[in-house]
Amino acid sequence: MYPTPSNPGDGTAAARKAMTLHRLAAMRAAGEKITMLTCYDASFARLLDDAGVDVLLIGDSLGMTLQGRDSTLPVTLDEMAYHVQCVARGNRHAWIVGDLPFGSYHTGTEQALLSAARLMQSGAHMVKLEGGGWTVPVVRHLVERGIPVCAHLGLTPQSVHALGGYRIQGRDDDGAARLLHEARELAEAGASMLVVELIPSTLGQQLTESLPIPVIGIGAGPGCSGQVLVLHDMLGVTRGKLPRFVRNFMAGADSIESAVRAYVAAVKDGSFPDPAVHGY
């Protein structure tokens, strides 16, 4: 039995079975919100899994949160594989998604296959890559070879310089139409999940309603199939000004685990994100 609004965050080993793609699809179909958090090591993997988080994302955000860099671009495939291994050792039930870092899939399908195989052999259940259009044949190539793929549209941090900074995407009609078109292409190519970042809430809901796969939002409104946040952001660890879509779940919590359980409960019951506070 997975955490539900009436039973938030009850993530005991006896209560949970290992997450699968089939289960994630069933949750989307049933309208049960999917919870995802970034995770980079075994200790947090065990804690997040015990707290009922459905999906652990080993994000290339580790370049900023763990390494102190100013972007995700310097993160290497070796570094990603190491952190995937760490998370896999601590996890028991959650679905594990590993980011393909910048430069690890950009030269074509064969490079992407070798990079994805590296993360899968390290313990990932799925790989994530950023962008639409040119990534469609890459997604198809990986899926045809048995590698589940999560796509990522909207603000794509690996393209931050081309996008002109960390800016909201899909605000005008042309931008929204492009994102909808790219999302449909990626789903048709076989992507099993889509992360959408920093887009208007109305567009997040439109994407969710028009696609046959789970859509996980970060700054994309409450209408998505689920939500993801960077762990360090939602625990109040990150210094400086944070995006408005972040909520500090440590505020009022007596432990990290209770903060994570509060996040799981808030996503499941729809109280997070609040479009008036966290949306665009």
Q: Which of 116, 207, 174 is nearest to 216 (CA)?
A: 207
Catalytic residue flag (residue 257):
no
Query: Which element (helix H / strand E) includes 24?
Result: helix 21-30
Query: Cα–Cα distance between 234 and 216 in angstroms, integer?
Result: 16
**Paired residues of 4 in beta bridges:** 7
Distances in whole angstroms, Cα of residue 266 to Cα of each of 35, 53, 205: 10, 12, 18
Beta bridge partners of 127: 98, 149
Give yes or no for a contact between 136 and 157, defined as CB atoms under 8 angstroms apart: no
Encoded tokens for 229: 């946040």
Q: Which residues contact 230 (CB under 8 A, 6 or more apart)?
A: 37, 38, 59, 61, 65, 238, 246
Catalytic, out of 188, 197, 209, 257: 197
Q: Which residue shows structure tokens 């949750």?
A: 27
Check: CB of residue 50 under 8 Å from CB of residue 12: yes
Contact between residue 274 and residue 244 where contact means Cβ atoms under 8 Å apart: no
Which sequence positions are flagged as catalytic? 197
